[in-house]
A and B are shown apart, each in its own frame.
Chain A
């Protein structure tokens, strides 16, 4: 019985951790390239979740199979959030490249509030529910229950991570990203358009966040306009925990935060689960201020 409970929590923890990792990647990539905490990232996540629910219910009403709707919506929502992130970057961050970091941080904070309220005004304050024919369903493995959604989430997360890895380490754009993150001036001298690379980084990060938004919507069954904040903070904590600027670190950090949250909720106290996530973060940073994977920040960061 206890082992079953443990395994159940493990599965839930991996699911949630993978989602945090997906959001954390956007933070870590943007931070790696322009040293900015992109507060608006949580809002890209929320916008992704909303686009998912809007598109899925629209397409489903046109008579398409739910899973086909899900696939199309996923792609469209990722594209939408990529465009949104590029617009935000162009408007709110690009003019501040040379300004103090505090100015950029505050600009990001303003954008976050702006987008969150924009979402509220266009979509209303109430939760929007995902269609149940997609979110329900699952099977029993002994006494452990696994929903199809969990498998879908873990699978898609893994696929996106592999895709990102290929993008960053195997393509010209990825190489340009890595070069820009190491030295903007030198990479500009060898002919890399750093503005374009930064825009692409934002777009990729936001697309991942949008995918995470849809999956969180599917996992919990509904989305809310303010859903970006808490997961955003936790994902940022995950990015810092893993060593910010480091892709593998974001994955490890996301999994740790997800696991800690689920296990703390299961074994200690459901109300204080968020507290434990933050305590772990503070503890790790206290003993190792650069994060878990912080040492090799220079050669593997995006």
Chain B
């Protein structure tokens, strides 16, 4: 790095910090009692020190002083990747599965709880992955199907006494129908119009759940939803619930994998890459887009039914736009269209924040910031999907 470049960098850093002070001070420092400076400068001081430290570190790295540390790490990660690629797929899968099965035996209650929510989000993320990652339809109201599934189980078990196992497919089917209803009018739209309409639909579903007092009990939600039973065995403990969701998640992973490498999956990818061209090649885009919505919604419906059974309670505030945004973030952070990517994305956004419980207040702030930062440094996701074909504009 030349002196000139380094000067420019430091100048940009200085300007940015001045800007930050200018934006921060009115929010913290202007009070009806008078102007206050101490608090603002404390916060500003922390941020400034962090910024200068990062800048310094960056420069040292650019200058090559850290090569002695960086090169071994890079080569180690390279050889790890080689090892991963050489290991047969079934070995990796059975190690992961064995770990997943043994997990509740070696960990505590809190870890079970985190693992259950991770697996719920895995189902949701993979479902959304069909809609957005494979078919390329941007859906911002996806959580509505989760809600539909949850309420389906809650109402059916309470009013008709139906068992969880019977309700699970029913919840999937009801969610798929809801997906088709939402999908049908939006099929003519593309891109951002689709985004806003699905967002609108998601809000509509939430408002209906919130206001249809006679059916959903409104904002109070539905209480005392029964846990699943299996020939007299009641899944009361957290670890038994863990195995239920593990099974659902495994089925989801398997189905999404099979769908991805089927004719339907290919057709979805064709629609994602170029809808007009796909249509000209004889792909029934209308039906397949509808199918993508329905399939995505089905998995959300399963996850929703489980969620209702696990919490023993459903309320409309579990199905807000923020949840949709979270699931979307998981899919995109992990890598759209890539199954291990989505699972990694879920782990990154559900499990990691749990480790920083003490900073509860700052959790969402960091989450938002991390989301932006991630897009800036790695927009394709942690584990991008491997392309099966090659695009004409890509180099040979």
Interface residues of A (CB under 8 A from B): 31, 35, 37, 50-51, 54-55, 57-58, 60-61, 76, 80, 83-84, 87, 91-92, 95-96, 99-107, 109-119, 121-123, 229, 233, 236-237, 240, 244, 271-272, 274-275, 278-279, 281-282, 285-286, 289
Contacts and interface: CB of A to CB of B under 8 A. Distances in A.
Interface string B166-207: 000000000000000000011011011101110111011001
Given A106-B371, A286-B185, 8 more contacts: A100-B379, A110-B370, A113-B322, A113-B364, A117-B365, A278-B203, A282-B185, A289-B188
B365 to A, nearest CB: 4
A291 to B, nearest CB: 8
Contacts of B93: none
B26 A102 contact: no
B207 A272 contact: yes
Interface range for B = 35 or more
Interface stretch (B29-37, B123-131, B301-309): B29-37
Interface string B324-343: 01001100100010000000
B204 A240 contact: no
B368 A112 contact: yes
A290 B376 CA distance: 31
B361 interface: yes
Contact of B368 (A31, A117, A237, A289): A117
Q: Which 9 A-B pairs have the closest CB atoms?
A: A110-B371, A113-B368, A114-B368, A110-B372, A278-B200, A103-B379, A117-B365, A107-B375, A271-B211
B14 to A, nearest CB: 14
B318 to A, nearest CB: 17
Given A99-B375, A237-B200, A109 B328 contact: yes
Interface of B: 16, 19-20, 22-23, 26-28, 30-35, 138, 185-186, 188-189, 191-193, 195-197, 199-201, 203-204, 207-208, 210-211, 321-322, 325, 328-329, 332, 336, 361-362, 364-365, 367-376, 379
Contact of B375 (A31, A106, A286): A106
Contacts of B204: 275, 278-279
Nearest to A279: B204
Contacts of A117: 362, 364-365, 368
B192 A114 contact: no
16 contacts: A37-B195, A80-B26, A84-B23, A92-B375, A96-B375, A99-B375, A102-B138, A110-B371, A110-B373, A113-B322, A113-B371, A117-B365, A123-B27, A233-B203, A240-B192, A275-B203
Given A96-B376, A114-B369, A282-B200, A87 B23 contact: yes
A80 B23 contact: yes
A61 B34 CA distance: 8
Contacts of B22: 83
A105 B26 CA distance: 29
A46 to B, nearest CB: 12
Contact of A114 (B27, B210, B372): B372
B23 A106 contact: no
Contacts of B332: 102-103, 106
A282 B356 CA distance: 41
A111 B23 contact: no
Given A50-B27, A102-B332, A278-B200, A285 B364 contact: no
A105 B201 CA distance: 19
Nearest to B190: A289
Contacts of B28: 122
Nearest to B43: A122
A92 B372 contact: yes
B271 to A, nearest CB: 16
A58 B34 CA distance: 7
Given A99-B375, A271-B211, A106 B328 contact: yes
A222 to B, nearest CB: 15
Contact of A244 (B189, B192, B325, B361): B192
Contacts of A100: 379
A272 B361 CA distance: 32
B371 A61 contact: no
Contacts of B32: 57-58, 60-61
A115 B365 CA distance: 8
A233 B324 CA distance: 14
A110 B379 contact: no
A103 B138 CA distance: 12
A286 B329 CA distance: 28
B30 A55 contact: yes
A114 B368 CA distance: 4
A285 B375 contact: no
A60 B33 CA distance: 10
A233 B199 contact: yes
B26 A110 contact: no
Contact of A289 (B31, B193, B365): B193
B33 to A, nearest CB: 7
A271 B16 CA distance: 45
A50 B30 CA distance: 11
A104 B375 contact: yes
A300 to B, nearest CB: 19
Given A109-B371, A122-B28, A229 B321 contact: yes
A91 B376 CA distance: 9
A121 B375 contact: no
Nearest to A236: B196
Given A111-B368, A240-B196, A244-B192, A278 B201 contact: yes
A118 B365 contact: yes
Contacts of B371: 106-107, 109-110, 113-114
